[in-house]
Structure 1
Amino acid sequence: MGIENQDVSMADKILMRKKTRSDMLKVKMLKGMWLAMIILAASCGKSGSDGSEEPEKPVEETLKTIKAGQTIKVMTYNIHHANPPAQANVIDMAAIAAVINAEKPDFVALQEVDKNTKRSGVSLNQAQDLATRTKMTMFFSRSIDYDGGEYGVAVLSRYEITDKTRYALPLAQGSNGELRSVAMISVATEGGTGKFYFASTHLEVSDNASRLAQVNELLRINSGIQSPFVLAGDFNAVPGSESITTLQQGLTAGCISGCPLTSPAVSPARTIDYIFLNQHASSAFSVQSYRTASEALASDHRAVVAELKFK
């Protein structure tokens, strides 16, 4: 009996030890789980200021539809391939982006845009670079092949682009002028046709016959659009000229009470950059303001900005 009792006692002690170890393990596991939960909860509120992880970034709402009562801001800007006129052989994308970001436009018509040229950088797509810097989407239209890459016009949009179209513009017969093009996009709107068209162009600078041919092609393009259409760009023609008078047979300049001087940027002496509205746009939108941006060093043109309220 004594030996049996001793065996039982020893067995109990062994069982107790195992139970104690088991309990201790359970306690340790519970503590570990609790600690992990505390760490996880704390990490959810981290700002990332210690450099250990990226801070949470706000989700930006994608603008999809221009709604009744909204005011949109449109801009046209000849960017001189991002070369500040006072700085030879310098490409300053940040300076151009700063002009755009200061205005916070919804749509931008860009002219003199390089894509992968030796002049600006074979790996630099200027329209895409500006889209990234301004958090917009873009559409580029090649006008000519240039310096190992392409050169043309582009559009930036803060709204989701539903359609993209490139149009080539003609030259007069026998002209040796530079080929030009149009970059056109459309976005959704409430009511009516449900579309808003926006385009960028840059017309011939020295050959009046070619510029008139291009104006007539723009009027032909407009005649096929049964929706609000805003055409913006560098038209290389002053108010009252044959080119502008002809264009106004189908489109109206937003600057109804006088168009501001746009070129050269430092001391503007001529108006050659405009924002035009077709008949449908004039009916659907009211022009709230029309002016030039004050910045004068990033390019050789002033940017033109208009605010349009959707009725």
Structure 2
Amino acid sequence: MDQLLGEDHPFLADVGKDLLALCNHGDAGDIIISGWRPGDPISFPPENGAHGGPGSQETHGFLLLPEHFEHEPVMNPKEGPIRGGNIHELGINFLEGRRPVAKPSRPVRNGKTTLRVMTYNIHSCVGIDGKLRPERIARVINRFHPDIIAVQEVDSHRLRSGEHDQAELIAAHLEFRHVFHSMLEEEKEKYGIAVFSPLPFEPVRSGLLTKAEPSRLREARGAIWVKLGAEAAGREVHFINTHFGLGKDERNRQAAALLGEEWLGSIPEDEPVILCGD
């Protein structure tokens, strides 16, 4: 702790204990920022977590947000310093998507609108830190302002992910339209792929490319096909999301099925197609 705060810190043991408690708090975020300035008076009020930090400026809290996050001023500076409650409210609004990021106009080149496409394997909304957070997936998607998103490995009402409908949660956070297709169903539990978009689209087809092979530890694999309206890019656009298997032979069979007459093979050559997946 002395390497972090310095050996000359007047309350090294106390601050170290407080920082450990803060890091282990159930509501602690992914990043914790704390500090002090030598020479300033330091106080340790009993209201745990109620202030911006120890010192004479303890009520002058701050919040770091992505530069693209647009929001109304937290409060009028003339009314006094920003309090922890103001920052908490703003942070919660951001995390829960109550103030969605304003989508920029899509760039226009040669008279045609450009589509921004995203494909994302969300691993059942579990991050590399092991935390299950569908709202974080929505924030990542929102950061890139996509026009349409292909998502793989989506849980629906599965016990392992809190029995939530993850596609519904993500769509609600983004305020996007969506369609979900399950490739695994066990009673009410489902697992599959989804498509999200703020643009109007028409579901065309959802189905399997290959069936499950439990004896070979292979999951069923499928695809979702939607059609974006002409307002999306000046003309209708076919969009297909899929999730191929791990084995070479099953991937070949899945690709062959996707190229068949039920899928890509039925689309006229002069109509644009976007194929996404994992």
Pick the TM interval, shorter chain: 0.5 to 0.7
Identify which of 238, 242, 245 aligns with 1:197: 238
- SS of 1:119's partner is helix
Distance in 2, matches of 1:72 and 1:85, equals 29
Sequence identity (%): 29
Task: State whether residues 74 and 107 of structure 1, in contact with CA within 8 Å, keep that contact through their aligned partners in structure 2.
Answer: yes
Structure with more contact order per residue of length (Cα contacts < 8 Å, sep ≥ 6): 1
> What is the correspondence of 1:118-157 to structure 2 with a 5 Å cutoff?
118-122=159-163, 124-146=164-186, 148-157=188-197
2:158 corresponds in structure 1 to 117
Tell me by how many angstroms 1:108 deviates: 0.3
- What are the superposed Cα offsets for residues 225-270 of structure 1, whole Å, 9 maximum, x if unpaired? 1221111110xxxxxxxxxxxxxxxxxxxxxxxxxxxxxxxxxxxx
Number of aligned pairs?
A: 171
Paired letter, 1:180: R
Distance in 2, matches of 1:172 and 1:97, equals 30
1:228 corresponds in structure 2 to 272
Distance in 2, matches of 1:91 and 1:108, equals 20
Distance in 2, matches of 1:139 and 1:91, equals 22
Paired letter, 1:78: N
2:124 corresponds in structure 1 to 81
2:32 corresponds in structure 1 to none
Task: State whether residues 118 and 147 of structure 1, in contact with CA within 8 Å, keep that contact through their aligned partners in structure 2.
Answer: no
Tell me by how many angstroms 1:175 deviates: 4.8
- What are the superposed Cα offsets for residues 18-64 of structure 1, whole Å, 9 maximum, x if unpaired? xxxxxxxxxxxxxxxxxxxxxxxxxxxxxxx9xxxxxxx99x99x9x
> What is the correspondence of 1:50-89 to structure 2 with a 5 Å cutoff?
69-87=112-130
Distance in 1, matches of 2:258 and 2:276, equals 11
- SS of 1:159's partner is coil
2:78 corresponds in structure 1 to none
Q: Which blocks of at least 5 consecutive residues in structure 1 are unaligned?
A: 1-48, 50-56, 235-311
Task: State whether residues 172 and 210 of structure 1, in contact with CA within 8 Å, keep that contact through their aligned partners in structure 2.
Answer: no
Paired letter, 1:223: G
Q: From the two aligned structures, give the one with the greater strand fraction.
A: 1
- SS of 1:143's partner is strand
Tell me by how many angstroms 1:202 deviates: 0.7
**More divergent stretch after superposition (156-165 vs 216-225):** 156-165
Task: State whether residues 199 and 232 of structure 2, in contact with CA within 8 Å, keep that contact through their aligned partners in structure 1.
Answer: no
2:203 corresponds in structure 1 to 163
With the length of structure 1 as denominator, give the TM-score of the two structures: 0.49
- What are the superposed Cα offsets for residues 211-231 of structure 1, whole Å, 9 maximum, x if unpaired? 110011111121111221111
Tell me by how many angstroms 1:172 deviates: 9.3
Tell me by how many angstroms 1:185 deviates: 0.9
RMSD: 3.2
Distance in 2, matches of 1:172 and 1:80, equals 19
Task: State whether residues 113 and 233 of structure 2, in contact with CA within 8 Å, keep that contact through their aligned partners in structure 1.
Answer: no
- What are the superposed Cα offsets for residues 180-222 of structure 1, whole Å, 9 maximum, x if unpaired? 11111112126999521112111111x2211110011111121
**More divergent stretch after superposition (144-153 vs 129-138):** 144-153
Distance in 2, matches of 1:169 and 1:224, equals 15
Tell me by how many angstroms 1:167 deviates: 2.1
**More divergent stretch after superposition (77-86 vs 167-176):** 167-176
Distance in 1, matches of 2:201 and 2:194, equals 13
Tell me by how many angstroms 1:121 deviates: 1.9
Task: State whether residues 204 and 211 of structure 1, in contact with CA within 8 Å, keep that contact through their aligned partners in structure 2.
Answer: yes
Tell me by how many angstroms 1:147 deviates: 7.9
User: Aligned in 2, Cα 1:172/1:156: closer, same or farther, shift over 3 Å?
Assistant: closer
Task: State whether residues 91 and 120 of structure 1, in contact with CA within 8 Å, keep that contact through their aligned partners in structure 2.
Answer: yes
With the length of structure 2 as denominator, give the TM-score of the two structures: 0.55
Distance in 2, matches of 1:114 and 1:178, equals 14
